[in-house]
Amino acid sequence: MDELLSRLFSSEEEESHMLDCMAHFMVFMAACTLVTLLFENVPYGRYASSKYGFAVNVKFAWFIQELPAFLVPLALLLWTSSSKTSLLPNQLLLAMYFCHYTQRSLIYPFLIRGGKSTPFASFALAFVFCVYNGYMQVRYLSHYAEYPADWVTHPCFIAGSGLWLVGWLVNVHSDHILRNLRNPGETGYKIPRGGVFEYVSGANFFGEITEWAGFALAGHSVHSAAFAIFTLVVLTSRAVAHHKWYLAKFDDYPKSRKALIPFVF
Ligand SMILES: NC(=O)c1ccc[n+]([C@@H]2O[C@H](COP(=O)([O-])OP(=O)(O)OC[C@H]3O[C@@H](n4cnc5c(N)ncnc54)[C@H](OP(=O)(O)O)[C@@H]3O)[C@@H](O)[C@H]2O)c1
């Protein structure tokens, strides 16, 4: 794989510059996505529409679209000279990334209960995003990122890691609550109860946004910040859309519940 990368890039400076450009482009795409989402919901789940391509089985879609986020980084670690993987801050940040994507790509798809099919366009975009982001995050952390020797005791790293952990636990727990709303074979919607759902409609999204914001704080790079910004844009829109949908659908929906941020928004 080193040989492939050396064919693509004439020097390490060139690849490093490309990684920076990719992060800036992701922020640009987040801005474009923000504008698009002001006019249209992401076409998936309860909002799915046939105008975005044929329907892909939901478990197959989640497994295949998320797999590159796990396999591309794994290939980078196994088959490239990852010169920074012996450093503790890099190891811990890589562990956070892999912890999330091991669950998301190898476990989450097989736990889904009665999920709606995914339109091909959403599936294809998610696949491309996972390849792009997987390469950007892990190539940077494994080969280029340099932190001060005592970075793991820096308040930014400690607070960021803590936020990452809390966010991940909230995300996994909230997805678990959603899944258990349905008995096997059911496909309808119910009011989520318990955990962070007592405070917000998008508890799973709140967890994931917190998670990547923490990762960005601990990682202190334009690459991790771009991912956190992209996640914020995409998932805020989903939380707001779900919140409005619940209020319109259920007369007894808890009135004090917010969309995304407990007590605030
Ligand atoms: N980092 C990122 O940029 C990013 C982007 C997208 C997603 N994600 C993460 O991926 C995970 C799934 O995202 P998502 O957008 O698919 O979440 P979602 O809309 O909350 O749906 C998750 C699952 O729960 C079901 N569900 C949702 N609300 C329900 C209710 N009230 N009653 C019964 N079942 C319900 C859905 O079924 P249906 O399919 O039938 O609606 C789906 O199977 C989340 O953890 C999210 O944070 C991350």
The tens digit of pLDDT for each residue in 158-183 reads: 999 999 999 999 999 999 999 999 99
Q: Is ligand 1 within 6 A of the CB of residue 66?
A: no
Q: Is ligand 1 within 6 A of the CB of residue 234?
A: yes
Q: Is the pLDDT assigned to residue 52 strictly greater than 90?
A: no
Q: Which numbered atom of ligand 1 lies nearest the CA of 58? A: 39
**Looking at the domain assignment, is residue 256 inside a domain?**
no
* For the chain, percent of residues with pLDDT exceeding 90: 92
Cα-to-centroid distance, 261 and ligand 1 (Å): 17
Q: Is ligand 1 within 6 A of the CB of residue 99?
A: no
Cα separation, 169 vs 103, whole angstroms: 11
Q: Is the pLDDT assigned to residue 40 strictly greater than 90?
A: no
| Residue type (1 letter), 90 | N
Q: Is ligand 1 within 6 A of the CB of residue 45?
A: yes
**Which of these ranges, 87-96, 138-147, 182-191, 200-209, has the smallest mean pLDDT?**
182-191
Q: How confident is the model at residue 51 (pLDDT cuts 50, 70, 90)?
A: confident
Q: Is the pLDDT assigned to residue 34 strictly greater than 90?
A: yes
Q: Name 56's bridge partners.
A: 118
**Which of these ranges, 42-46, 92-96, 183-187, 226-230, has the smallest mean pLDDT?**
42-46
Q: Is the pLDDT assigned to residue 216 strictly greater than 90?
A: yes
Q: Which two tokens stand for residue 195?
A: 């955990």
**Looking at the domain assignment, is residue 259 inside a domain?**
no
Q: Is ligand 1 within 6 A of the CB of residue 67?
A: no
Q: Is the pLDDT assigned to residue 41 strictly greater than 90?
A: no
Residue 175, pLDDT score: 98
**Looking at the domain assignment, is residue 22 inside a domain?**
yes
**Looking at the domain assignment, is residue 254 inside a domain?**
no
Structural domain including 237 reads 2-249
Q: Which pTM value belongs to this model? A: 0.97
Atom 3 of ligand 1 has which residue's CA nearest to it? 231
Domain count for the chain, please give it: 1
**Looking at the domain assignment, is residue 213 inside a domain?**
yes
List, for residues 54-101, the tens digit of each pLDDT value.
999 999 999 999 999 999 999 999 999 999 999 999 999 999 999 999
**Looking at the domain assignment, is residue 221 inside a domain?**
yes
Q: Is ligand 1 within 6 A of the CB of residue 47?
A: no
Cα separation, 246 vs 51, whole angstroms: 24
Which alpha helices (DSSP H) does the chain contain, by range?
A: 2-8, 12-37, 58-79, 88-102, 108-111, 120-139, 155-179, 203-219, 222-249
Q: Is the pLDDT assigned to residue 49 strictly greater than 90?
A: no
Name every residue whose Cβ is closer than 8 Å to that of residue 186 and which is 6 or more positions away in sequence. Answer: 113, 114
Residue 155, pLDDT score: 98
Q: What is the mean pLDDT of residues 124-146?
A: 98
As a whole number, the mean pLDDT across the chain is 96
Q: Name 258's bridge partners.
A: 200
Q: Which numbered atom of ligand 1 lies nearest the CA of 182? A: 33
Q: Is the pLDDT assigned to residue 43 strictly greater than 90?
A: no
Q: What is the mean pLDDT of residues 230-245?
A: 97
| Residue type (1 letter), 215 | F
Residues 74, 109 contacting (CB under 8 angstroms)? no
**Looking at the domain assignment, is residue 264 inside a domain?**
no
Q: How many residues does the chain have?
A: 265
**Looking at the domain assignment, is residue 180 inside a domain?**
yes
